[in-house]
Amino acid sequence: MINFIPLAKPDIGDDEINLVVDTIKSGWLTTGPKVTEFENALSEYLKYDDEIYSLGLNSCTSALFLALLALDVKVGDEVIVPTWTFAATAQVVDWIGAKVVLCDIEEDTLNIDVHKAKKLITDKTKAIIPVHIAGYPCDIQAISDLAKKYNLKVIEDAAHAIGTSYKDKKIGNFSDITCFSFYATKNLAMGEGGAAVSKDKELIEKMRKLSYFGINKEAFKRYEKAGRWYYDIEEIGYKANLDSLHAALGIIQLNKLDKMNKRRRYIASYYRKNLTNKLTFNKDSDEHSHTYHLFPIRLPKNINRDDFIEELKENNIGASVHFIPLHLHTFYKNRSDNNFEVADRVFDTILSIPMCSAMSDEEVEYVVKTINKIVG
């Protein structure tokens, strides 16, 4: 029998291991030259026309939180968040003290429904946080038109979308601030890590300061020979800086990201061609470049999702559900009278099956054969 196939596993090789070891030997473990090298490489990777500025952070959650702070979102403001997302997208808004306004999603992509978002705008709405679910881009054009019309800030939650393109431009080129996750299961994996990017250098430098106690930028140099001992706390900040060991992993992972994303796309196309047509898949299109962080499938109504996941497990296949919509969780349940008709409908039948660039052809074929057998 085949070994357990997890939902995702990192695609780490000798190059990552060697650079992490070299970095440990260098004696500089925290934020330093390796982080700068990663940030510069990320900016270069994402750049289409205008310059992009990057800030390495310890998570995407930190990036989202600091983005709200940098854009001056405050107590009393409202922020529109899709209900179909992970806790992080909304909880950062709660931490700021602003109001989370949950929005329903599109049936085919699971991304925010921009028409429904428009109806949620009030004179208190300050920002919108679209999420590119599974690595397929939101309707960025419609979102930026809406933002322009109603003077909203846009923070993209691109936790799933490093390398995704909207038309021919990579995600990271469009909004006020874009936030990426480099969590262990993500397309670019550091274990824990994230980044914020923007075309606005001042915003990124503001976030950099906020990511280290509001201390002026000389702080990171103070242990170097050229650095000074003096530092000044200019405002209240947080501790969210990226360290050199994770950055070292990121440098190598970024070098091979396109290759890893290509492998994900190959696996997705194999799934699409060979899985039974009794299943429904999320939308893909030639217009954009999907990076398949996840591969969600929707079951026919006669199959119970929980039983199906159990049966996959018995057959050594991992599965999970991305996501339980926020409005169904205890904390968010009674906070909205909005209608989540699409999210409610989709949630009952959906699950994610294994998807990662480190899967072998044999594993991919086994997943297809097993699912087709169970669905019948």
Ligand X SMILES: Cc1ncc(COP(=O)(O)O)c(C=O)c1O
The answer to whether residue 352 forms part of the interface with ligand X (CB under 6 A) is: no
Out of 34, 186, 199, 206, which one is annotated catalytic? Answer: 186
Instruction: By CB under 6 A, tell whether 243 contacts ligand X.
Output: no
Collect all residues with Cβ–Cβ distance below 8 Å to 129 and sequence separation of at least 6: 64, 79, 80, 81, 82, 89, 93, 154, 155, 156, 157
Q: Does 53 bind ligand X (CB under 6 A)?
A: no
Least distance in Å: CB of 194 to ligand X?
5
Beta bridge partner(s), residue 256: none
Number of shown-chain residues binding ligand X (CB under 6 A): 14
Query: Which of residues 38 and 86 has its CB atom nearest to ligand X in the complex?
Result: 86
Please state whether 172 falls in left (phi above 0), alpha (psi between -120 and 50) or beta. Answer: left
Nearer to ligand X, 88 or 275 (CB): 88
Q: Binders of ligand X among 117-136, rule CB under 6 A?
A: 131
Supply the minimum distance, in Å, between the C-beta of residue 109 and ligand X: 14
Query: Tokens in use for 161?
Result: 């979308």
| E strand map for the chain | 53-57, 78-82, 99-103, 125-128, 153-157, 165-166, 169-170, 177-181, 194-198, 280-281, 295-298, 350-353
| Residue 71, token pair as written in the block | 């854009």
Q: With binding defined as CB under 6 A, does residue 110 bind ligand X?
A: no
CB of 85 to ligand X, least distance (A): 5
Q: Does 71 bind ligand X (CB under 6 A)?
A: no
* CB of 12 or CB of 184, closer to ligand X: 184
CB of 66 to ligand X, least distance (A): 12
**E strands, 315-362, in order:** 350-353
Q: Which of residues 138-167 bind ligand X (CB under 6 A)?
A: 157, 159-160
Sorted by sequence, the CB contacts under 8 Å of residue 223 that are 6+ apart come out as none
Q: In the window 82-101, what residues touch ligand X (CB under 6 A)?
A: 85-86, 88-89
Closest separation in Å from C-beta 61 to ligand X: 3
- Which tokens hold the place of 371? 């699912």
Q: Strand, helix or coil at 50? A: coil
Is residue 186 annotated as a catalytic residue, yes or no?
yes
The interface with ligand X within residues 180-209 (CB under 6 A) comprises: 181, 183, 194
Question: What is d(CA 100, CA 80) in angstroms, rounded to the nearest whole number?
Answer: 6
DSSP 87-140: HHHHHHHHHHTPEEEEE-B-TTT-SB-HHHHHHT--TTEEEE--B-GGGPPP-H
Q: Which stretch binds ligand X (CB under 6 A): 38-46, 53-61, 113-121, 142-150?
A: 53-61
Residue 240 touches ligand X, criterion: CB under 6 A: no
Q: Which residues bind ligand X (CB under 6 A)?
A: 59-61, 85-86, 88-89, 131, 157, 159-160, 181, 183, 194
- Give me the active site residues, please: 186
